[in-house]
Amino acid sequence: MKHLRILLSLPVLFLVATLRSYASEATGIGNLSAILEVQQYNRAIHIMAMLLVGFGFLMVFVKKYGRSALTATFLLVSVTLPIYYLVSDSGMLGHQKSPIENLILAEFAAASLLIAAGAILGRIKMYQYIVLALLFVPFYIFNEWIILDDGMGIMIGNFADTGGSIIIHSFGALFGISAAISLTTKEEFKTNIEADATSDRYSMLGSMVLWVFWPSFCAALVPVEAIPATVVNVFLALCGSTVITYILSTSIRGKINIADIANAALAGGVAIGATCDHATPLTAIIIGVLAGAISTIGFSILQSKQQKFHKIIDTCGVSNLHGLPGLFGGLMAIPVVDGLNIGSQLFGIAITVVIAVVSGLISGKIISLFGHRKEAYNDVEEFEDVEEEIATLKKVA
Amino acid sequence: MKHLRILLSLPVLFLVATLRSYASEATGIGNLSAILEVQQYNRAIHIMAMLLVGFGFLMVFVKKYGRSALTATFLLVSVTLPIYYLVSDSGMLGHQKSPIENLILAEFAAASLLIAAGAILGRIKMYQYIVLALLFVPFYIFNEWIILDDGMGIMIGNFADTGGSIIIHSFGALFGISAAISLTTKEEFKTNIEADATSDRYSMLGSMVLWVFWPSFCAALVPVEAIPATVVNVFLALCGSTVITYILSTSIRGKINIADIANAALAGGVAIGATCDHATPLTAIIIGVLAGAISTIGFSILQSKQQKFHKIIDTCGVSNLHGLPGLFGGLMAIPVVDGLNIGSQLFGIAITVVIAVVSGLISGKIISLFGHRKEAYNDVEEFEDVEEEIATLKKVA
Amino acid sequence: MKHLRILLSLPVLFLVATLRSYASEATGIGNLSAILEVQQYNRAIHIMAMLLVGFGFLMVFVKKYGRSALTATFLLVSVTLPIYYLVSDSGMLGHQKSPIENLILAEFAAASLLIAAGAILGRIKMYQYIVLALLFVPFYIFNEWIILDDGMGIMIGNFADTGGSIIIHSFGALFGISAAISLTTKEEFKTNIEADATSDRYSMLGSMVLWVFWPSFCAALVPVEAIPATVVNVFLALCGSTVITYILSTSIRGKINIADIANAALAGGVAIGATCDHATPLTAIIIGVLAGAISTIGFSILQSKQQKFHKIIDTCGVSNLHGLPGLFGGLMAIPVVDGLNIGSQLFGIAITVVIAVVSGLISGKIISLFGHRKEAYNDVEEFEDVEEEIATLKKVA
C-alpha cells in the first residue's frame, strides 16, 4: 500500500489540486477549512452566551447588587476580549492562530477572569473591576504561555487540560480567592454578603445557560473528529453532578438549597475539562458524580464551618465550584488519559497554583489601593435609580 | 450511464479512497462525515436549551413553586439522558447509532418526559420526579422501539413523525394525564393549582426559547439536504399558531390571556412535527394556524368547561398544548405526505395512545405509593429559604 | 497553467461529477452546498433569538407594560416572517434565493420593524401593532429592492451595508420616529412613558442576548471565507461601545444609568454593520467606541435636553441606539471600504432616509385612525389578570 501511495502521489496530488479548484468554482465553497472555522465560530458564540448570560445571571444573587453584577460582567468581558485578541493576534505568544482560535482563547481568558471576580463580588466599585481585568489578563496569559506554549521551556511534557479544568477554572478561582485575602482586612471578614431572596430564578437561568453550552466550551478547539465523543462526555458529567448535588444537598442540609443546585450542578463540567476528549461515557459520569459531591460538600459543609474562608471572602463560592472540582479534574487526567506524563501533569498543576496565588495576592493589594470597605456595596451608591431618573426627567419637562 | 458507472466503478472507488486520504492530510478535515455530525451537535445544543431554559421557565408559573419547577426540570433531564444514552449506545435497541444521534434521541426522551411531568407539576415531591423518570423512560423506549425500529414486527409500514408529534408530544401528554388521573383522588380534584401573578415574563422567556430553537428539534435527525425546507416549515407553522392564538384568545375571552400566548403559540411546532420535512410553506402555515386554534380553544373553552380534566389534573395544560395538537399533526401526515401508508400511520398512532395511557396509569399508581396529597406543594416545604439560610450562617459566624 | 486547465477541463469535469456522485453515496453528504446552507441556518436561529428574546426583553422596561411588549414582539415577528418569506420566495423581487436566505432576509425585515415599534411602544393597542407590521413590510421591501436589487435602476453603484446599519437600523428608527410624530398629538408629548423599577435585569437579559448573537446577524449572508474576520470585528466593536458607554454614562450623569448600559453598549453592533466584512480589528474597535459615545451622549444629554423628541415620542430611544449609530456606521464605510463609490453610498443613505421618513409619517397617520390617546397603556386594559383568571376558574368550579 505504501509503495502504491508513493507511486500515485505525484499525479494524484496534481489531480487533487485541480479537482479542488474546480470543486470550489462549482460549489462556491472556496476553502473547506473555512467550513471548519465557521463551526468553531458557532462554539465561540455558545461560549459568549455562557460568559454574559451564564456567569452574569449566576452572580445576580447578591442582595441589592443585581445591576452591578451584570454591568461588571459586561465590563470584564469587554475589557478582556480586545486586549487578549490583539496580543494573541500579534503572534508574540508563539505560533500564529486563526481569528476564531484567537477569539476562543480570549473568551477562555474572560471566563477565568469572571471566576476570579466571583470571589470578590460585591466588595469593590465598578471601576475596580476594570483594574482587576487589566491586572488579571497579563498573569493569565503568562501562565497559559508557560503551560501550553512551553513559554519558558520548563514544561517537561504534555499537559492534559483540553477544557481548562486547571488553567481556566482553578487558575481563576485561586487568583480570585488570593486577591480577596489581600483585599479584605480581618475586620471585614465579619460582615457577610447577603443573598437576594427573589433572585433564585435568575440564578437558575444563569446556571442552565452555562450547563447547556458547556460542551461547546470544552470542545471549542478539539479536532472535528473528536467533538462528538467530547460533547457526550461533558453532558454525561453534568448529569452526574446535577443528580448527586440534589441527593447530597438534601441529605446534608435536610432541605434542598437552591444555591447548591444552581452551582454544584455545574461541577461536572468543571472537572471533566481535563479529560473530556479522553474519557469514556461511564468514566465521564463517575467524574461528574465525584465532582458534584466535592462541590456540594464544599458549599454545604466547608462553607458554614470555615466561615472565614467561604462566602465571606469568596462571595460566589468559586473555590467550591471552580477551585476544588478543577484541581480534582486535573488530577483525574492521570488515571484517565493514556500515555500521559504524570510528572508533567503534576508540574503543570503546581505551576498554575503558584502563579495564580502569587498574582492574585499582588493584584488584590493593588486593587485595595483604589479603596476597600467593610460592608457590601449597594447598587444605589453607583447606579441611578429609576425613580430618581424619572424625577429628573419630570423636572426638566 | 449505468453501464458507464459500472465500468468506472472499480478504479474510481480506488481513486476516491486515495483522494480522500490525501484530501484529509491536506486540509486537516479528516472525515467529512464528522462535519455533518458536528452540525447535528449544534442542533443537539439547541434542543438542550429548549429542555432546560424552555420547558423549565415555561413551568415556573405555579404559585410558590418556581424553584421546584426549575429543580425538577434539571433532575428529570439529568436522570433521563445518561439512562437513555447508555441503553441506546449499547446497541440493544436495533442498529448502532452515532454518539450525537444517541444524544439527540436521549434529548427527545427527556422532552417527552418533561411534557408528562407538566401534567402533574406541583402535586408531587422532588424525589417523586426521579421515580417518574425511572418509570417513564423504559415505557418511552418500548413505544419508540415498536414504532420506529419495528420492535415487535407489528408495524405494517412507514410512519411519518420526523419531529415527534406523536411519539414525543402526544405520548408525553397522554402518559402525564393518565398518571395524574391515577395519582389524584376525586377529592383532590377540587383544589386548584394557582398561578403566580409575577411569573408572566419568565413563562414568556421559556416560551420564546422553545419557539426560537424548535426548528432544530424537528430537523435534528433530518438529512442535510432536507434541513432548509424543514426549518422554514417549522418557523412558518409557529408564526401561524402565534397569530391565531392572539386572535382567538382575544375573541373568546374578551381580553388577551398571557398563558394562552405563552403556550398555544407553540402548538404549530407540535403539530408540524409529523410533516415538517414534507409540507410546503403554505401547508405549514395552515397546519400551524389550525393547531394554534385547537390549542387556544382547548385552553380557553375546554379548560373552563371541563374543570375536572384541565388545569386540575393537568397543571400545565399539556393536553391542550401537546396532546391534541400532536394527534392533529400526526393525522395531517395522511393528506400531506406522499405515498404514506394510511393504515400504518393510524396503527402507529393507536399503538402510541394505548401504550401511553396504560403505562401512565400504572406509573401514576406507583408514584402515588410514595405519597400524594390534596393541596399543591409549597416551595418552602422542600427548599431552604434564603432568610433561613442567612440566619444559619449568622448563628455559626 | 491556463492552457493546462482547458486541456484538462472536459475529462476532469466528468470525473468530478462521477466522483461527487460516488462521494455522496459513500459519505451521505449529498451536496456540499447543503452544508453551507445549514451553517447559514445556524445563524438564522441566532438571529431569531435576538428578535424574540433580545428585542422582546430589552423592551420590557415600560411600566405596567411587560406582557404587552413581549406579546407585541411575538406578533410583529409572526406577521412579518410569513409575508416577507412568501413574497421573496415567489421571486418577484429579483433573483431567486435559497430558503434559508429568504428566511434570513425575512428576519432582517422583522428586526427593522421591531426597531420601528420601539419608538411608539406603549402608545398603541395590540392589534395596532399588526396594522403597523402590515404597513411597514411593503415599505421596507420597497427600500431594500431599490438599494440592494437596484429596483428602479437609480442606484449608481455598490452600496456597503452588509450588516444593515442603514437599511435595517436607520430605516427602522427613522420610520418609527416619523410614525410616532404623526401618531401623537402635541398634547400627548407632555405625558411621559415611565420605566418599571424592577425590570433592569430583564432589560439586561435582552441586551446580552442581542450582544452575544450580533455577529451572526452581521455575518448571516457573508461568504464562508469572510465569516471569521467579520465575527471578530463585530465582537470588538461591541466591546468598544460597552466600555465607552460605562465611562461616558458615569462621567456625564455622575452615576451609572442601567438603561444606558443595556442600550448604548449595543451601538457598536449597529455601527459596524456597514463595514463588518471590510474593517480591520483596530478599525472595528474605533468604530465601536465612537458609536457607543454617540449613543451614550444621545441617551444622557440629548434625551433630557430635547424632551420633545426623545423618550416621549421615542419610547425606547431608538434614535439614539439605531438611528444615529446606524447613519454613523453607513458613513464610516466611505473611509473604511476600499474602492467604494462615495456618491453611491451617500445616495443610498439619502434614499433610505427619505423613504423611511415619508412612509413612517404615512403609516403613523393610518395607525392613528384606529385610535390614539394621551397616557401610556396599562397592561390590564388588554390582558386578563392572573387574579381575575383564578377568580373565573373558581366561580366555574
Q: What is the pLDDT of residue A312?
A: 64
- pTM for this prediction: 0.92
The residues, ordered by sequence, that sit 6+ positions from C103 with a Cβ below 8 Å of its Cβ are B231, B232, B235, C41, C44, C81, C85
Residues 6+ apart with CB under 8 A from A9: B22
Q: How far is A2 from chain B (nearest CA, A)?
A: 11
Using an 8 Å CB-CB cutoff, list chain C residues near B217.
none
- Which of C204, C224, C253 lies closest to A34 in CB terms? C224
- Kindly state whether C75 is in contact with chain B, defined as any CB-CB distance less than 8 angstroms: yes
- In angstroms, the CA B126 to CA C191 distance is 49
Sign of CA dihedral B197, B198, B199, B200: positive
Which positions in chain B touch A20 (Cβ < 8 Å)? 23
- Does residue A79 sit at the C interface (CB-CB below 8 Å)? yes
Whether the CA torsion C63, C66, C70, C71 is positive or negative: it is: negative
Does any domain span residue B19?
Answer: no
Confirm if B214 and B234 have CB atoms less than 8 A apart: yes
The answer to whether the CB atoms of C78 and B42 lie below 8 A apart is no
Chains touching A by CB (3 or more pairs below 8 Å): B, C
pLDDT (tens digit, 9 = 90+) per residue, A151-171?
A: 888 888 889 999 999 999 999
Please answer yes or no on whether B242 and C98 come within 8 Å at the CB atom: no
Residue of C nearest to B303 (CA): C393
Is C23 within a domain?
Answer: no
Question: B195 vs C52: CB contact, 8 Å cut-off?
Answer: no
A197 touches chain C (CB under 8 A): no
Q: How far is A314 from chain C (nearest CA, A)?
A: 23
Closest approach of chain B CAs to the CA of A360, in angstroms? Answer: 26
Size of interface B-C (CB pairs under 8 A): 175
Q: Find the DSSP H helices in B52-190.
A: 56-58, 66-89, 99-120, 126-148, 171-183
Q: Give the count of Cβ contacts less than 8 A between chain A and C.
A: 176
* B neighbours by CB contacts (3+ pairs under 8 Å): A, C
Calpha distance A85→A104 (Å, rounded): 9
Q: Is C66 on the interface with A (CB under 8 A)?
A: no
Is residue A30 included in any domain, yes or no?
no
Q: Is A235 in contact with B45 (Cβ distance < 8 A)?
A: no
Contact B79 A236 (CB under 8 A): no
Question: C-alpha grid cell for residue A284?
Answer: 465521564
C72 shares contact with chain B (CB less than 8 Å)? no
| A253-311 pLDDT tens trace | 999 999 999 999 999 999 999 999 999 999 999 999 999 999 999 998 877 665 555 55
Are the beta carbons of C66 and B195 separated by less than 8 Å? no
Residue A334 forms contact with C (CB below 8 Å): no
Evaluate whether residue B393 is within a structural domain: no
Q: How far is B75 from chain A (nearest CA, A)?
A: 6
Domain that holds residue C304: 34-396
Q: Is A301's Cβ below 8 Å from some Cβ in B?
A: no
- Is residue B354 in a domain? yes
Are A99 and C228 a contacting pair at CB < 8 A?
Answer: yes
Query: Does any CB of chain B come closer than 8 Å to the CB of residue C83?
Result: no
Residues 6+ apart with CB under 8 A from B370: B124, B125, B127, B128, B131
Name subunits touching C (3+ CB pairs < 8 A): A, B
Q: Determine the pLDDT at residue B133.
A: 98
> Which residue of chain C comes nearest to B34, CA vs CA?
C27
Q: For chain C, 397 residues long, give each residue's pLDDT as a single digit of tens.
A: 445 444 444 444 555 555 554 444 444 444 688 999 999 999 999 999 999 999 999 999 888 888 999 999 999 999 999 999 999 999 887 778 999 999 999 999 999 999 999 999 988 999 999 999 999 999 999 999 999 988 888 888 889 999 999 999 999 999 999 999 888 776 666 666 777 777 889 999 999 999 999 999 999 999 999 999 999 999 999 999 999 999 999 999 999 999 999 999 999 999 999 999 999 999 999 999 999 999 999 998 877 665 555 556 788 999 999 999 999 999 999 999 999 999 999 999 999 999 999 999 999 999 999 877 666 777 788 888 765 555 554 444 4
pLDDT digits (tens, 9 = 90+) for B2-43: 454 444 444 445 555 555 544 444 444 446 889 999 999 999
Helices (H), A121-226: 126-148, 171-183, 200-218
CATH of the domain at B107: 1.10.3430.10
CA-based nearest distance A194→chain B, Å: 7
Pick out chain B residues at pLDDT < 70. 1-31, 186-192, 304-312, 373-375, 386-397
Identify whether the C-beta of residue B325 lies closer than 8 Å to the C-beta of residue B270: yes
Is B292 contained in some domain?
yes
Instruction: Provide the grid cell at C273.
Output: 454593520
Chain B positions in Cβ-Cβ contact with residue A5 (cut-off 8 Å): 18
Tens-place pLDDT, residues A377-395: 777 888 887 655 555 544 4
Closest CA to C159 of C332, C347, C288: C347
Quick check: is A338 in a domain? Answer: yes
Total domain count for chain C?
A: 1
Query: How near does any CA of chain B get to the CA of A136, in Å?
Result: 31
Q: Report the gap between the CA of A381 and the closest CA in chain C (Å).
A: 8
Contact yes or no for B37 and A208 at CB 8 A: no
Question: Are C56 and B197 inside 8 Å of each other by CB?
Answer: no
In three-state secondary structure terms, B195 is strand
- Yes or no: say if B212 and C50 are a contact pair by the CB < 8 Å rule: no
Residue A379 sits at the vertex; the CA angle it makes with A378 and A385, to the nearest 5 degrees, is 130
Residue A27 domain-assigned (yes or no): no
pLDDT > 70: percent of chain A: 84
Query: Averaged over A69-77, what is the pLDDT?
Result: 97
